[in-house]
Amino acid sequence: MARYVDLHPRDPQPRLIAQSVALLRDDGLIAYPTDSCYALGCSLDSPGGPDRIRRIRGLDERHHFTLVCADFAQLGQFVHVDNAAFRSLKAATPGPYTFILKASREVPRRLAQPRRRTVGVRIPDHPVVRALLRELGAPLVSSTLLLPGHDEPMTDGWQIKEELDHVVDAVLDSGDCGTVPTTVVDWSEGVPEVVRLGAGPVDRFGVSEA
């Protein structure tokens, strides 16, 4: 059974954050809130977490995992960012964006898109996630909690626990965080391409929402 963790939305309890990070370090998989809906997450070193996420979401190996990073310095260790992308990413973070970029050698091969060697990265603006990342000291491997056959991501902590009780290890609940996922912008070819329009506006990248 999954552990249910009730966290304060603005000032998450350090003891509960530490317990959640200990679970992640022990190859655990969590459902957690972000600034743009719930997500599934495991540690970067987790041998089983990514495959568990794929099974829950019904994904294949072409899926872009997202590395959820604490700050821009950490993000820069895992992707190659040219000058144009640097300015745009810096201005848009933290916030509800995922950026697809060429993966650095720090990204395990099993997490990068196999053909393009790309990976998604983001810096969220949510107190619970930021507390988790500070305690963990490394990125989370993450994917939106959108189940097969569902039109929107899951957003209610207790419902998530009931639905995923035997396939995740913990559900972190800090109240409603919306149902709109991140805006996904592909910068891997040197120019921005909006792959998915979500919570973040795209006019700052000089491209149309259409």
Q: What is the pLDDT of residue 84?
A: 86
Q: CA–CA separation, 89 vs 38, rounded Å? A: 22
Q: How many CB atoms lie within 10 A of CB 205?
A: 21
pLDDT in tens, 77-124: 999 999 989 999 999 999 999 999 999 999 998 898 888 899 999 999
pTM of the model: 0.94
Q: What is the pLDDT of residue 189?
A: 92
CB 209 within 8 A of CB 202: yes
CB 39 within 8 A of CB 168: no
pLDDT in tens, 168-204: 999 999 998 888 999 999 999 999 999 999 999 998 8
CATH of domain 3-205: 3.90.870.10
Q: What is the pLDDT of residue 209?
A: 53
DSSP state of 79: B
Q: What is the pLDDT of residue 140?
A: 98
